Amino acid sequence: MNLWIVSAAWAHRPGLSYARLEADHVALTFAQPELASLVPLGADLDASRVVVAQVTLDTATFTVGGEPCALGDVTLRRVEDDGVEIAAGMDCPPGEVTYTAGFLPTLAPGHRHYVEAMGQPVAVLDVGTPNVAYTGASDRGEVAAQFFGLGVEHIWTGYDHLLFLFGLLLAARSLRSMLFIVTGFTVAHSITLSAAALGLVSLPSALVEPAIAASIAYVGIENFWRPAPKRRVAVTFLLGLVHGFGFAGMLAELGLPRDALAVALLCFNGGVEVGQAAVVAVALPLLLLLRRWPSWEARAVPALSIGVALAGVYWFAERVTA
């Protein structure tokens, strides 16, 4: 059963209640007539705050590994025309939280309690099943290590991103221009990765993935015209914006923890940059050494550029027809 559909339909009717659980906040919503049958509700709702909390939130428990979470000051407010929300701040250690709706036995037989945890519907509780476990606050240290490692892994296994960078560096004329190219790519994909991960902008993967392949083909072909360093840096930046959406698509599949969003995003991006820097640290000296080979410019660069372009064309056709 789709809990979103069910919970949206009850509209604070007696016999139905709703819990919204976040890492640092809990809110319970009851139908006003049902709540009034348990405790008196005066015209000044805040005056009833203590007694309402005693029969609702105070009887609920939140524990992590058997240790209770700490609840802050309770607030009451009316929601819509027929509901009352009881809310409080909550401080739990990282880990799996067990929520027990201890107030259920005091409500009418058959009462159903819909629970949303960390933005997702997780359970429908009743007097026979009064509790549910959910993943609460994220351990920021674990999140940082996990997403940093995922960033490194993604760039090291992202053959299309690496081939794009290799194609750019092939035609670079000096160490200085190589470093500018790498910097342009880094800044560009960091911008779109962050913007997309934060939901500020979005592009479907059906457009992004073929566009990445097309950028690889373009770079391989452009190498035959030996673009000026400033032009190549500008092109790198513009195409790097597209690659950032590719990184963001992968990050979206992993799912960012809502309560550690900044940590996860920063560390994933950091992992991408460190992984990229490791590749560049190996590639740059090798490419600079190969430039001393007399046939490098005349034969090797054109041949390798053709390979880059063909790989881009192949991936483009594959992704367009997928």
Q: Which pLDDT tens digits describe the chain residue by residue (322 residues)? A: 444 434 444 444 568 899 999 888 899 999 888 888 788 776 667 777 888 888 899 999 999 988 999 999 999 888 877 788 999 999 888 788 999 999 999 888 889 999 998 777 889 999 999 999 987 666 677 778 888 998 898 889 889 999 999 998 888 778 888 888 889 999 999 999 888 888 888 888 899 999 999 999 999 999 988 778 788 889 899 999 999 998 888 777 766 666 667 788 888 889 998 998 898 888 888 888 888 888 888 899 899 999 999 999 999 999 999 7
Torsion of CA 206, 211, 212, 215, to 10 degrees: 170
Lookup result for tokens 């892994």: 153
**Phi-psi label, residue 125: left if phi above 0, alpha if psi -120 to 50, beta otherwise:** beta
**Where would I find the H helices in 30-139?**
32-36, 49-55
Distance CA 258, CA 281 (A): 34
pLDDT at 319 (0 to 100):
94
- H/E stretch holding 64 reads strand 61-64
- H/E stretch holding 282 reads helix 261-290
For residue 87, give the nearest of 27, 45, 17, 47 by alpha carbon.
27
The residues near 61 (Cβ < 8 Å, ≥ 6 apart) are: 68, 98, 99, 100, 102
Starting at the earlier edge strand, list the strands of the sheet with 112-117.
70-79, 83-91, 25-31, 16-22, 112-117, 120-125
Q: What is the CA radius of gyration of the chain?
A: 28
pLDDT at 308 (0 to 100):
95
Provide the 10 A C-beta neighbour count for residue 84: 24
pTM of the model: 0.62
Q: How far is CA 104 from CA 32, 48, 57, 63, 264, in A?
A: 16, 20, 11, 18, 37
Q: Are 85 and 79 in contact (CB under 8 A)?
A: yes
pLDDT at 10 (0 to 100):
43
Measured CA angle at 315 (ends 228, 178), to 5 deg: 25
Q: Which residues of 27-41 are buried (b: 16+ CB within 10 A; e: fewer)?
A: bbbbbbebbeebeeb
The residues near 200 (Cβ < 8 Å, ≥ 6 apart) are: none
Q: Are 27 and 19 in contact (CB under 8 A)?
A: yes
Range 287-295 contact pairs with CB under 8 angstroms and sequence separation of 24 or more: 287/169, 287/170, 287/172, 287/178, 288/175, 288/178
Domain ranges of the chain: 3-135, 140-321
Strand pairing class (120-125; 112-117): antiparallel
**DSSP assignment letter at 225:** G
Residue type, 298: A
pLDDT tens-digit map of 293-318: 888 888 998 999 999 999 999 999 99
pLDDT at 22 (0 to 100):
86
